[in-house]
Amino acid sequence: MTTADILSLRTPIEALRAGVPNRAAVRLLGSVEDAIEEKFDAALDKVWSDRPQPGLMFAGGFGTGKSHLLGYLREVALQRGFVVSLITISKETPLSSPRAVLAAAIRGAMVPERNDDALTVALAELQRRTAAIAELEAWATTPDSGAGPVFAAILLLLAKQQDAALMERIEAFFGGGKLPGKELRDALRQAGVAKAFDLRGATEAVLAPQRERFLPRLFRAAGFAGWCILIDEVELIGRYSPLQRALAYAELARWLGISADAHAPGVQVTAAITDDFADAVITARQDEETVPERLRLKGRPRDAERAAIGMHAIREAMPLHPPTDDDLRRHAETLRKCYSEAYRWQAPPLEPEERRATRTMRHHIRGWITQWDMLRLYGRRAAVDVEAMRAGYEERDDLAEGAEEGEG
């Protein structure tokens, strides 16, 4: 066995020891959440239909496998030819900011079987498909597309194989950067079509929702099945100020495609949240009574309606089921074989641990690895203490500061 082989085997072990599932760990252990996977597959099937299925939301406690499941769904979507973005809600990516979420999704986008930036790959593929560019341009010029003349102008220029500098500026713009207005006008002038496109009024406030509608079509024209966006740690919104939390609920409904002004066709969104959020935040703070009214008082009736829908989606989130004895035995044996090969040491089967409500799948996995580490290194077993973790929902204004409030 080569050093590279040993490292490839140790990679999932080290990730699971740290409690941070990487792609290798996800591939090793797979998923036991069949019901969620079936709904996810069905949603991917209908992502371009006239009546696409709404996004999915599931809930679980700390260490129950939410991030692992999102990672598994990422692998499923990649295998089906989707561009996939896995993003985590954070101070830098507040859910109350549609621009920040979209920018994070573009930054983190992956394409199947390519270790390269998704936009770079998509634009390169698109330029090799002149018929696809023409079809996409024809769509962008229709009133129902929701895309402004900027996007049609860019497509015309892409068909003419632009220089690398302009391509970089176009790619940066699609990724959420500033519109290269002067460069576009110069290129259109050189192509003799400067008067065909009116780029006036192309402000970021106008372009942001248009970019959101255009990108799934761009990915499709480049040969991909669509765009799958996976959102982790939605529970962080429990620490937002009341107004930012209200806007986050509204944005959640929009991204999940369950409000009247849902996200664009071609996008499937799945989100994960802690299972105590509804009681600890929505109920405890009476958000269902106060949040919509707060938004209506600010003259934002549309956001008020969306926020109510978003809170309902959280309450209806599909629960992750506790691991069964069969699940535990299967995972333990899979991990034991991997550990044995990774360290060239025969890891023994371990006696089943006591089943307790506070012992999550993460606790079981880290406990097995710790026991094997102790036996391999010191020749003795160790007592493994388990401590249940709970989310903290204390409000912190700084977590969403700088997030725009969007349209009313």
What is the pLDDT confidence band of residue 352, given thresholds at 50, 70 and 90?
low
- Specify whether the CB–CB gap between 30 and 14 falls below 8 A: no
Q: How much is the pLDDT for 408?
A: 46
Predicted confidence (pLDDT) per residue in 20-33, tens digit: 778 899 999 999 89
Is 128 inside a domain boundary? yes
Q: Which domain holds residue 36?
A: 7-112+224-408
Q: Specify whether 267 is located in the same domain as 373.
A: yes
Q: What is the pLDDT of residue 396?
A: 78
Percent of the chain with pLDDT over 70: 92
pLDDT band for position 310 (cuts 50, 70, 90):
very high
Last residue of a domain, one of 189, 215, 241: 215
The Cα–Cα gap between 211 and 247 comes to 20
Q: What is the mean pLDDT of residues 197-211?
A: 86
- Domain final residue, candidates 215, 237, 263: 215
Q: Tell whether the model's pLDDT for residue 90 goes beyond 90.
A: yes
Q: What percent of the chain has pLDDT over 90?
A: 62
At 245 the pLDDT is 96
75, pLDDT greater than 50: yes
The answer, yes or no, to whether residue 243 has pLDDT greater than 90, is: yes
Residues 98 and 127 in one domain: no
Residue 315 lies in a domain: yes
- Whether residue 320 sits in one domain with residue 256: yes
**What is the per-residue pLDDT for 369?**
93
Distance of alpha carbon 210 from alpha carbon 383, whole angstroms: 57
What is the model's pLDDT at position 216? 95
In 149-215, DSSP assigns E strands to none
Q: Residue 298 domain-assigned?
A: yes
3-class SS string, the chain: CCHHHHHHHHHHHHHHHHCCCCHHHHHHHCCCCHHHHHHHHHHHHCCCCCCCCCCEEEECCCCCCHHHHHHHHHHHHHHCCCEEEEEECCCCCCCCCHHHHHHHHHHCEEECCECCCHHHHHHHHHHCCHHHHHHHHHHHCCHHHCCCHHHHHHHHHHHCCCCHHHHHHHHHHHCCCCCCHHHHHHHHHHCCCHHHCCCCCCCHHHHHHHHHHHHHHHHHHCCCCCEEEEEECHHHHHHCCHHHHHHHHHHHHHHCCCCCCCCCCCEEEEEEECCCHHHHHHHCCCHHHHHHHHHHHCCCHHHHHHHHHHHHHHHCCEECCCCCHHHHHHHHHHHHHHHHHHHCCCCCCCCCCCCCCCCCHHHHHHHHHHHHHHHHHHCCCCCCCCCCCCCCCCCCHHHHCCCCCCCC
pLDDT in tens, 137-189: 999 988 888 888 999 999 999 888 768 888 899 999 998 889 998 999 999 99
One domain for residues 209 and 264? no
Mean pLDDT value of segment 382-404: 67
Residues 389 and 354 in one domain: yes
Could you tell me if 181 and 312 lie in one domain? no
If one compares 389 and 378, the residue with the highest pLDDT of the two is: 378
Q: Which of 186, 215, 244 is the last residue of a domain?
A: 215
Does residue 2 lie in a domain region? no
Report yes or no on 68 lying in a domain.
yes
205 and 130, same domain (yes or no): yes
Is the residue at 305 inside a domain?
yes
Residue 100 sits in the same domain as residue 137:
no
CA dihedral 271→242→402→270, nearest 10 degrees, is 10
CA distance 154 to 159: 9
Residue among 63, 68, 60 at smallest CA distance from 275: 60
In which band, very low, low, confident or very high, does the pLDDT at 215 lie, cut at 50, 70 and 90?
very high
**Amino acid residing at 2:** T
Same domain, 141 and 259: no
Pair (231, 357) in one structural domain: yes
Name the DSSP letter for residue 13. Answer: H
Q: What total number of domains does the chain contain? A: 2
The verdict on residue 260 lying in a domain is yes
Specify the pLDDT at position 407.
46
Q: What is the pLDDT of residue 110?
A: 96
Same-domain pairing of 108 and 135: no
Q: Using the predicted structure, report yes or no on whether residue 403 has a pLDDT greater than 60.
A: no
pLDDT at position 7 is 87
- Residue 1, domain member (yes or no): no
Q: Are 230 and 254 part of one and the same domain?
A: yes
Whole-number average pLDDT of the chain:
89
Residue 37's pLDDT is what? 96
Query: What distance in Å separates the CA atoms of residue 401 and residue 119, rounded to the nearest whole number?
Result: 28
